[in-house]
Amino acid sequence: MQLAVIVPVLNEAAAIESTLVRLAPLRARGAQVIVVDGGSSDGTVARATPLSDAVLHCARGRAEQMNAGAQAALDRGVDALLFLHADSELPDRADHLIENALRSSGRAWGRFNVRIDDRAVLLKVVSALMNWRSRLTGICTGDQAIFVTRAAFEKLRGFASIALMEDIEFSKRAKKISWPVVIAARVSTSGRRWRRHGIGRTIVLMWRFRLAYFFGADPQRLAQRYRDAR
């Protein structure tokens, strides 16, 4: 199974090199790493170029960036896609874990468990709750490194072009094809998002917006409220 790792970025110069270096073993085994930049102005592209198979440019927006990277990967004939945040680290041999999980389960997509890389006890609780909630509902988030077969991604026509909650919306549609397979090995993601504006405040903010989206709020308006709140 040939895998492509899609990494959407926007001003990630501080993190992108270490993220891509950790993907080198996957590239050595045949995986493709495609970085999709949404208009960085901090040197992200220059740092990513020598450490990836391609650096693409498109309009800002995680959904649009992931779709652009996915299409480029599909054009190259890959069998599966993995979407990875720029500040996240996959577990060892993640490519083999994905292949084995998809083949043994017969499912079309899935995700890893997640661990927030931070000493705060509250964030350890957040990690555990994220994994538990996802297992219970089948809804996965970008922090959990969603992966999907080529056939399923094409059937779903990628991520919806919305400004926020694109991972939640994708999960809802993907569940109609199959329940996600869960890989117990953990992807490690930075705690910077929670630290930047306060752990408690960020948790409350994220839950408010997810609840609002669940009850039908417009993702575009939620995205603007999110930017204003930050």
Counting other chains too, the contacts that 140-144 makes at CB distance below 8 Å and 24 or more residues apart are 140/110, 140/111, 140/167, 140/171, 140/180, 141/111, 141/114, 141/167, 141/168, 142/62, 142/83, 142/85, 142/167, 143/85, 143/88, 143/114, 143/116, 143/187, 143/189, 144/111, 144/112, 144/113, 144/114, 144/187
pLDDT band, very low/low/confident/very high, at 21 (cuts 50, 70, 90): very high
Token pair 């498109």 is at which residue?
A: 58
pLDDT score, position 194: 75
pLDDT cut 70: percent of the chain above it: 97
Mean pLDDT across the stretch 84-100?
97
Task: Give the integer Cα–Cα distance in Å for 132 and 155.
Answer: 28
Residue 85 scores a pLDDT above 90: yes
Instruction: Kindly tell me if the per-residue pLDDT of 152 is higher than 90.
Output: yes
pTM of the model: 0.92
Instruction: Please compute the mean of the pLDDT values over residues 135-143 and round it to a whole number.
Output: 95
Tell me the mean pLDDT in the region 183-207. Answer: 84
Number of other CB atoms surrounding residue 4 within 10 Å: 26
One-letter amino acid of 190: S
Confidence at 104, pLDDT banded by 50, 70, 90: very high
225 — pLDDT class (breaks 50, 70, 90): low
- The span from the CA of 71 to the CA of 4, in Å, is 11
- Say which CATH topology domain 3-196 has: Spore Coat Polysaccharide Biosynthesis Protein SpsA; Chain A (3.90.550)
Residue 211 scores a pLDDT above 80: no
Nearest Cα to 187, choosing from 81, 83, 61? 83
pLDDT digits (tens, 9 = 90+) for 24-51: 999 999 999 999 999 999 999 999 999 9
Largest distance between two CA atoms of the chain: 45
The partner residues of 112 in beta bridges, in order of sequence, read 183
